[in-house]
């Protein structure tokens, strides 16, 4: 996100979007988040970030499915939102995107430190990889991802200005309405085999992103 | 009766005079805007050096980060992205910081602490194992240990001072366990308070930026902004920490120079006194600055 060439820089936003709490208009019961907000809902970390237009995040079925969330957006320059974990790691990330339209990507996204790494595992859509280096492929959870690596020099990061790498496993072929799984350990092991080492995990989230004046919606559940 | 009273008065005046002289001498020893740091072993239990047999000698350290006004007075131009006299200078590389130290020393009649050779590449400047040579300058910089000029703190000196020295309360951040008391970092450095997980776009949109030096609470030694605001260059190469040594100077070689304290852009953990960061010596960013140190005179 930082002027990153690798994956859309917006994705970063997404993620985790740390929302501007002060500017966030979030209901006291955390059942509706307008434009920007972050927090915990039914045990999951959630985040919504948007610029331009409008975006609203709700948790319509979270009482039954704790990881459920829905986002609607209109005329946004960028919107990124989703649910996940404050600390990522080797786990089986289950998801079901019940409906989605007008989005650009839906990815598992996170950071590690020591070494500092920003990573993406893209399940829907595609990220820009024009300046990234193709490293090979990996098969996980029944499909094949293309692996890219990109170096960021003196760019903003979770520890401030830093030189670090971005890792991307790109697939993008997931289906609406079907359960999906991301066995993150397969990706991390694959990256390690390529010399793309990971560090200590910070947050990890299934992030939906849309931009360029888009209007649309997503209703998804993670577990 | 008068003689004893007169004698007592003389003794009292003499004692007061002596005390005043001592106090004046002590105060005048400490340069303006510096703090005297009494040496010793590490008392802060969160420090990487705690219980490692490392001893630090007395030194003086800047009460504040080097400001843009201080930088301009010495260097003549201001590289900072966010402008303001009382803001810390940023966008300065490690080499820039070294040059500032020597130029300020010369300007104030002190002996420069560093020998800077821009023509010979330093063989101790190693390629980053992940990225190769990020530093294409690789100046050879050595020290004059006995010089009285300005210099960067070593990593150990920085951590000792940030941790409160002999007055340490073993805080995680420099001066508190509550980061908001003492540090400007990504959550509190912009228009609104940010929450959730770190993400650059909201930070940028929130106009996060450095703050005037000394605008948070000081630590146990009276030092400001050791945690947060801008990250501070140290002398050391990034490398293994040393143990059982007095005044460690860090690894003899490396691929980056150590920074400490975290800055306005980073997450809370990077502002902890014990957090170790590094950046290529020619690297710079709007959250990267420094403070200076003087040997005890």
Q: What is the pLDDT of residues A145-198, one digit of tens each?
A: 999 999 999 989 999 999 999 999 999 999 999 999 999 999 999 999 999 999
Angstrom distance (rounded) from CA B229 to CA B261: 8
Angstrom distance (rounded) from CA B55 to CA A73: 59
- A182 part of a folded domain: yes
* Residues paired with residue A83 on neighbouring β-strands, in sequence order: A46, A206
Q: What is the DSSP letter of B196?
A: S
Angstrom distance (rounded) from CA A112 to CA A45: 17
CATH number of the domain enclosing B237: 3.90.1580.10
Structurally, chain B folds into a number of domains equal to 1
CA-to-CA separations, B162 to A55, A58, B155, B157, in angstroms, rounded: 43, 44, 10, 8
- B161 part of a folded domain: yes
- B55 part of a folded domain: yes
Residues of B in contact with A23 (CB under 8 A): 191-192
SS (H, E, C) A7-38: CCHHHHHHCCCCCCCCCCEECCCCCEEECCEE
- A3 part of a folded domain: no
Report, as an integer, the average pLDDT of B258-264: 98
φ, ψ (nearest 5 deg) of residue B82:
-105, 115
- B141 part of a folded domain: yes
CA B129 to chain centre: 28
Angstrom distance (rounded) from CA B108 to CA A171: 62
- A4 part of a folded domain: no
Among partner residues A10, A47, A161, which is closest to B196 by beta-carbon distance?
A47
Residues of B in contact with A57 (CB under 8 A): none
Residues of B in contact with A38 (CB under 8 A): 195-197
Q: β-strands B231-237, B288-289: how paired?
A: parallel
CA-to-CA separations, B38 to B55, B173, B250, in angstroms, rounded: 11, 20, 21
- A1 part of a folded domain: no
Q: Which of B81, B96, B202 to mutate to test the interface with A (most CBs of A within 10 A)?
A: B202
Among partner residues B130, B131, B202, which is closest to A17 by beta-carbon distance?
B202
Angstrom distance (rounded) from CA B149 to CA B106: 8
For residue B25, how many other CB atoms are within 10 A of its CB?
A: 9
Residue contact B200–A202, C-beta within 8 A: no
Residues of B in contact with A13 (CB under 8 A): 199-202
CA distance A31 to chain B (A): 16
Domain that holds residue A16: 9-222
Consecutive H or E run containing B1:
none
User: Residue B16 — pLDDT band, cuts 50, 70, 90?
Assistant: very low
Residue contact A21–B287, C-beta within 8 A: no
- B18 part of a folded domain: no
Residues of A in contact with B203 (CB under 8 A): 18, 156
For residue B246, how many other CB atoms are within 10 A of its CB?
A: 12
CATH number of the domain enclosing A19: 2.60.120.180
Task: Say if residues A211 and A8 touch (Cβ distance below 8 Å).
Answer: yes
Task: Say if residues B110 and B148 touch (Cβ distance below 8 Å).
Answer: yes
- B3 part of a folded domain: no
Residue contact A22–B279, C-beta within 8 A: no
CA distance B58 to chain A (A): 31
Residue A52: the pLDDT is 80
Residue contact A20–B128, C-beta within 8 A: no
Residues of A recognised as catalytic: 118, 209
CA distance B180 to chain A (A): 16
φ, ψ (nearest 5 deg) of residue A71:
-130, 135
For the stretch B192-251, pLDDT in tens is 888 767 878 778 888 999 999 999 999 999 999 999 999 999 999 999 999 999 999 999
- B19 part of a folded domain: no
Phi-psi region of B214 (alpha: psi -120 to 50; beta: other; left: phi over 0): left
Which residues of chain A register pLDDT less than 70?
A: 1-31
Q: Which of B184, B199, B256, B287 to mutate to test the interface with A (most CBs of A within 10 A)?
A: B199
CA-to-CA separations, B190 to A39, B248, B260, B281, in angstroms, rounded: 19, 37, 22, 28
- B129 part of a folded domain: yes
For the stretch B158-188, pLDDT in tens is 999 999 999 999 999 999 999 999 999 999 9
Domain that holds residue B255: 31-295
- A110 part of a folded domain: yes
- Chain A's closest residue to B271, CA to CA, is A159
Structurally, chain A folds into a number of domains equal to 1
């Amino acid at each position: 996100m930082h002027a990153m060439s690798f994956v859309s820089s917006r994705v970063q936003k997404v993620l985790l979007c740390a929302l501007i709490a002060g500017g966030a208009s979030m209901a006291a019961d955390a059942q509706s988040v307008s434009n920007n907000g972050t927090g915990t809902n039914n045990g999951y970390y959630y985040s919504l970030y948007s610029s331009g237009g409008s975006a609203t995040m709700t948790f319509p079925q979270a009482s039954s499915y704790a990881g459920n969330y829905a986002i609607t957006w209109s005329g946004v320059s960028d919107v990124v939102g989703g649910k996940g974990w404050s600390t990522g790691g080797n786990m089986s990330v289950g998801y079901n995107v019940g409906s989605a339209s007008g989005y650009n990507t839906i990815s598992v996204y996170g950071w590690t430190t020591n070494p500092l790494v920003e990573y993406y595992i893209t399940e829907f859509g595609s990220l820009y990889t024009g300046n990234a280096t193709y490293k090979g492929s990996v098969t996980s959870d029944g499909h094949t991802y293309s692996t890219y690596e990109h170096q960021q020099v003196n760019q903003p990061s979770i520890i401030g200005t830093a030189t670090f790498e971005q890792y991307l496993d790109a697939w993008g072929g997931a289906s609406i309405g079907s359960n999906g799984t991301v066995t993150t350990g397969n990706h991390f092991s694959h990256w390690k085999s390529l010399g793309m080492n990971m560090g200590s995990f910070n947050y990890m989230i299934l992030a939906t992103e849309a931009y360029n004046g888009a209007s649309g919606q997503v209703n998804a559940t993670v577990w | 009766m008068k003689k004893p009273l007169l004698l007592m008065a003389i003794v009292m005046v003499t004692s007061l005079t002596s005390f005043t002289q001592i106090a004046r001498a002590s105060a005048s020893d400490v340069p303006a805007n510096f703090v005297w740091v009494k040496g010793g072993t590490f008392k802060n239990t969160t420090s990487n050096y705690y219980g490692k047999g490392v001893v630090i000698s007395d030194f003086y350290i800047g009460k504040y980060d080097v400001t843009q006004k201080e930088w301009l007075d010495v260097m003549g131009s201001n590289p900072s992205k966010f402008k303001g006299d009382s803001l810390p200078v940023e966008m300065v590389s490690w080499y820039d910081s070294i040059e500032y130290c020597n130029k300020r020393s010369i300007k104030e009649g002190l002996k420069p602490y560093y020998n800077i050779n821009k023509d010979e590449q330093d063989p101790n400047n190693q390629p980053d194992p992940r990225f190769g040579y990020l530093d294409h300058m690789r100046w050879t910089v050595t020290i004059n240990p006995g010089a009285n000029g300005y210099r960067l703190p070593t990593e150990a000196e920085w951590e000792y001072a940030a941790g409160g020295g002999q007055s340490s309360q073993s805080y995680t951040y420099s001066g508190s366990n509550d980061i908001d008391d003492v540090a400007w970092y990504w959550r509190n450095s912009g228009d609104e308070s940010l929450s959730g997980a770190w993400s650059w776009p909201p930070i940028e949109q929130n106009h996060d930026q450095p703050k005037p030096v000394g605008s948070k609470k000081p630590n146990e030694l009276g030092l400001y902004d050791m945690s947060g605001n801008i990250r501070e260059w140290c002398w050391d190469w990034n490398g293994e920490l040393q143990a059982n040594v007095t005044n460690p100077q860090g690894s003899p070689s490396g691929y980056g120079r150590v920074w400490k304290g975290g800055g306005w852009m980073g997450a809370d953990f990077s502002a902890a006194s014990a957090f170790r960061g590094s950046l290529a010596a020619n690297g710079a960013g709007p959250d990267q600055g420094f403070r200076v140190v003087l040997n005890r005179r």
